[in-house]
Structure 1
Amino acid sequence: MSQPATPPPLHQPRPTPRRVVAGLLLLLGLIAQILHFTPLPLPSPWVSYLFWAATALLWRDIPRRNRLQAGALALLGGGLLLLSQLRHGAAIDWARSLEGNVYVVAMLVGVSFLGLLGTRPPAAPRRRVTGRRGIAQTWLSVHLLGAILNLSTVFMVGDRLRARGELTTPQLLTLNRGLSSAALWSPFFASMGVALTVAPQMSYGWILAFGLPLALASGLFTCLELGRRFDLSQTPGHALTPTNLLMPGAMAALVLVFHYGLTPGLSIVSLITFLLPAVALASNLPRGPRWTTRRVLDHARLRLPAMRGEISLFLCAGLFTQGLSAWVSAASGGEWVLFAHFGAKEAALSYLAIIASAIAGLHPIIGVSTLASLIDPEGSRLTLLGFVALAAWGVGTAVGPLSGINLSLQGRYGSSGYTMMRHNLGYAALMSLLVVAVIFALDRLL
């Protein structure tokens, strides 16, 4: 999720032995997950054991807010599993209860290996782009690159903009919305991994057909709104060049070739998990196996431990989902669900509830995980559930004051999460109107 030219992640600790061991455990967890795609026998729980052991080693380094959220989710999940066993006599497979969101964590670790590709951002253009055109090009740069490289793109583009002066509110909002809206359609985002986990049979074709236009609407609204609210005449933007598009385009094409041609039996999440590390290794092998091994080990020592916040949140949210689902099933005899039918009205209410919780400070994955554990959709309803998960992530992370993107902007560029939330409320309202309209359209088409 980062590149060598990108500055190191925020507040990255020095590689002490404990962090080095944790990074190696994360690397071993990725390798173990990839081995599951082969005929080689490997006990399934080992992947989760490795990831959870790494999280335990890194726990004290996790930022306090993230640690509180992740710890609360883990305690609630474990408590509900214990309650299900002791109070309701449910048979709990404690080893498998740790496997929630393991696929997503493995994908995140795999995507991080893009940092070994050795690409560098293009040189700063000689001609300055400002105004709405500058905002539009900045949004497109962050959106298209971020669809593949995720959060590292914000730092890459943001640091280039900051070279011309401290970032202004319009620039920060553009970075925020350009990245978060990619969650509406990009198969490389963690949001897609979560959506495919809660709705494994969803149709990506329908998601792309509606998610991509929604993302473009986000960019159009950003340009028009910021041009109306702020004086952009002296606000520099980040010029979009064809060079910027080569790497994300090639990666997307490679995934599609494997998904529809070479390995149609593997999900997109599984493909990304092993394809991106494989491409990164292949790009380094011409310089020799020793060079490649050293780069991989450096990545495990430095970059992987820096992902502790997101990894802990996904693992603990997965445990919470397992616990809540087990308790609801045990307490109701397996007969109670939140909605008897998951249609447009239920999907819209669920989406709005997750957005409200994001504004209150909860990561959208918590709302999505809770929803998935309380409903039992089938068939085409899974695509509707998947869209709700992606839309809630795409809009919720933009407006949520404690989301990863806003915390990153705050730590690196001195913005305020609550100021970003206030400026994004109108954006979230308009995007939510569009999302609800798409939900009703999907309900009729599926």
Structure 2
Amino acid sequence: MTPFIAASGGWLLMISLVISLCAQMTGLISGYWAGVPIWIAAALFIPYIKPAQKKQIVLLLVIGLAGLIYGMSHGADMLYVRKALEANQNVVTMLIGVGFLRIFAVQSVRSGETLPQGKSALLRTLFGTHLFGSVLNMSSVIIVGDKIAAQGRLSTTQGLVLLRAFAACAFWSPFFASMGLALISAPGAQLSTLVAYGIPVALVALGLSAWHIWRQPDSDSLAGYPVTLYSLWMPALLAVIVISAHELFPHVSVLSLVTLTAITFTAGWLLLKKGKPGVRIARNHINVGIASSCGEVVLFAAAAMLASGVAATLMALDIQLAPAHFGAFEACITVLVLIVLAMTGMHPVTSVVLAGSILAPSVSDPNLLGMTLLMGWSLGITLSPFSGIQLSIQSRYAVGTKALLNANWRYIGMMYLVCSAMIVWYSL
């Protein structure tokens, strides 16, 4: 990607972020206007996306646009055009806002540390990376993985630590794209409820992973990440701020609160710790760093087009694909379907948006749907060799695809039972 395209896309997405926050905080402008600069940035980014992802994105755009044109020509509401124009702007701007936290993470990494070794070090890495990931998303995997990889190629066990720690964040983290799309795809779902039921599931997932890692024959000799209390204060603080702010300002979107918190924290930290050079660091991130999320930005925009097109077509044809009632049984089946779709290579953004648009008419409890989508997202990216996190671990650290699959399928079976039990418990 050329510096001009990267900088242009970065500033366009910053404009979108400002418009989105203004729309949420003041109500003086419609939120869908924030989607306009996103679509322009997406058009700039498309030529530079990986070929495999580009094919999926083009397919989503073509199907979505065709469905939207058909629906509008057969009496569908203009609402669907506005939804397509929005380009999932709340999630995209959250992605951009949270991306600024990478500045803090990278600037705070201490060099020259000796890496701890053994089972306890791997377990500390598992839980520490989970807390990092709950706020920093994929950046946490790269920061931790690169530090460990500096001493040699990662083993399957170390790759498993990174994968499981990251994927478990999708059960509950307000800073994760999974939560953003779940709240959008299940209108009316409450962050506090999803977090309250998601954290226990994540703890079980981490506990099972810890037991699995402890039993690996090579775990005594492997290096972990030097996790300290100093390194964990930031994710814990930000999570508390967002959840507390949501309770105080329930009318403000959780995604906007996450975006505002991330931006404010990074700006304050840069000014206090770096002074004037901090402005240069932030500007460099806009010019260069934001473009590193180009694949996700275009995918979220394409998913918005697909969801709008499918919904418009279903309305025009008066087709109801949703079951008569969405209860515990239907939720458990939906989680299983989402896992299967992930194994086909479908991105969770696409499958979650589709599931939400299809099931919405029969949902009486949006929290149940939101919980279901989060569970399907987490289990899907853990098992599928085609998920973004797995592809990153496979390509960046040369961890074998087959080895990860063999290590994960029993875990997914157990976690599916855990998720089903939680769904039933919630539905009682």
- Normalised by the shorter chain, which TM-score bucket? over 0.9
Match of 2:242 in 1: 255
* 1:57-112 CA-partner distances (Å, limit 9, x unpaired): 011111111111111111111111112233x3334453442214221111101111
Q: Deviation per CA, 1:375-420, whole angstroms, max 9, x where unpaired?
A: 2357862001000111111111111112111121123112244542
Whether 1:120 aligns to 2:104 is no
1:36-115 equivalences under 5 Å are: 36-39=23-26, 41-86=28-73, 88-92=74-78, 94-115=81-102
Aligned to 1:312: 298
Residues 119-150 of structure 1: CA deviation (Å, up to 9, x unaligned): 4135566573302x232111111101111111
Q: 1:415 aligns with which of 399, 402, 418?
A: 399
Tell me the equivalent position of 1:180.
167
Contact 1:362–1:400 under 8 Å retained in 2: no
Q: Does 1:322 align with 2:308?
A: yes
* Cα distance change, pair 89–256 in 1 and its aligned pair in 2 (3 A): closer
Q: Which is worse superposed, 118-127 or 244-253?
A: 118-127
Q: Rate the CA distance shift 1:84–1:264 in 2: closer, same or farther, 3 A.
A: closer
2:424 paired with 1:424: no
User: In 2 relative to 1, CA 326–284 (structure 1 residues): closer, same or farther, beyond 3 Å?
Assistant: same
Q: Does 1:388 align with 2:388?
A: no
Q: How does 1:429-440 map to 2 (within 5 A)?
A: 429-440=413-424
- Cα distance in 1 for partners of 2:69, 2:343 equals 31
Between the aligned partners of 2:149 and 2:82, the Cα distance in structure 1 is 47
Measure, in 1, the Cα distance between the counterparts of 2:392 and 2:400.
10
In the superposition, relative to structure 1, how do residues 91 and 268 fare at CA in structure 2: closer, same or farther (>3 Å)?
closer
Matched, 1:271 2:257: yes
Alignment of 1:185-334 (within 5 A): 185-261=172-248, 263-286=249-272, 291-332=277-318
Deviation at 1:204, TM superposition (A): 2.9
**How much does 1:322 deviate?**
0.9
Question: What residue number does 2:6 align with?
Answer: 19
Deviation of 1:271 (Å): 0.4
Shift of 1:296: 2.7
Tell me how far apart the structure 1 counterparts of residues 118 and 378 of structure 2 sit (CA, whole Å).
26
> What is the one-letter code of the residue matched to 2:200?
P
CA distance in 1, matches of 2:269, 2:228: 23
Whether contact under 8 Å (2:117, 2:220) holds in the other structure is: no
Selected match of 1:129 from 113, 117, 134: 117
Q: State the AA in 1 paired with 2:48.
A: D
CA deviation digits over 1:287-316, x for unaligned, max 9? 788544433321111111110111111111
1:347-391 CA distances to partner (integer Å, 9 max, x unpaired)?
111110010111121112222111111123578620010001111
Amino acid aligned to 1:385: L
Match of 1:359 in 2: 343
Contact 1:359 1:421 in 2 (8 A): no
Which residue type is aligned with residue 106 of structure 1?
T
Find out whether 1:28 has 2:12 as its counterpart.
no
Report SS of the residue matched to 1:164.
coil
Query: In structure 1, the residue corresponding to 2:188 is in which secondary structure?
Result: coil
On the 8 A contact 1:141/1:239 being kept in 2, the answer is no
Percent identity, aligned pairs only, is 31
Structure 1 residues 124 and 145, CA gap change in structure 2 (3 angstroms): farther
Report if the CA contact (8 A) 1:122-1:243 is conserved: no
In the alignment, which residue of structure 2 is the partner of 1:10? none
Q: Which residue does 2:355 correspond to in 1?
A: 371
CA distance in structure 2 between the aligned counterparts of 1:249 and 1:235, rounded to whole angstroms: 27
**Alignment partner for residue 144 of structure 2, among 157, 168, 172?**
157
Distance 1:307 1:212 in 2: 27
- Aligned counterpart in structure 2 of residue 342 of structure 1, from 312, 326, 347: 326
CA contact (8 A) 1:195 1:389 kept: yes
> Which letter maps to 1:147?
S
Q: CA RMSD in A?
A: 2.2
Structure 2 vs 1, CA of residues 38 and 89 (structure 1 numbering), >3 Å: closer, same or farther? closer
CA contact (8 A) 2:156 2:403 kept: no
Deviates more, 1:206-215 or 1:49-58: 206-215
SS of 2:303 mapped into structure 1: helix
Residue range with higher mean Cα deviation, 356-365 or 217-226? 217-226
C-alpha distance in 2 between matches for 1:416 and 1:244: 30
User: Could you tell me which amino acid in structure 2 is paired with residue 283 of structure 1?
Assistant: W
| Shift in CA distance, 19/258, structure 1 to aligned 2, threshold 3 Å | same
Letter in 2 for 1:177: R
Q: Deviations over 1:248-278 (max 9, x none)?
A: 11212222332223x3321321101222112
1:336-355 CA distance string (max 9 Å, x none): 24111110111111110010
Name the one with the larger helix percent: 2
- CA offsets, 1:14-68, max 9 Å, x none? x421222111111111111111133373354321110011011011111111111
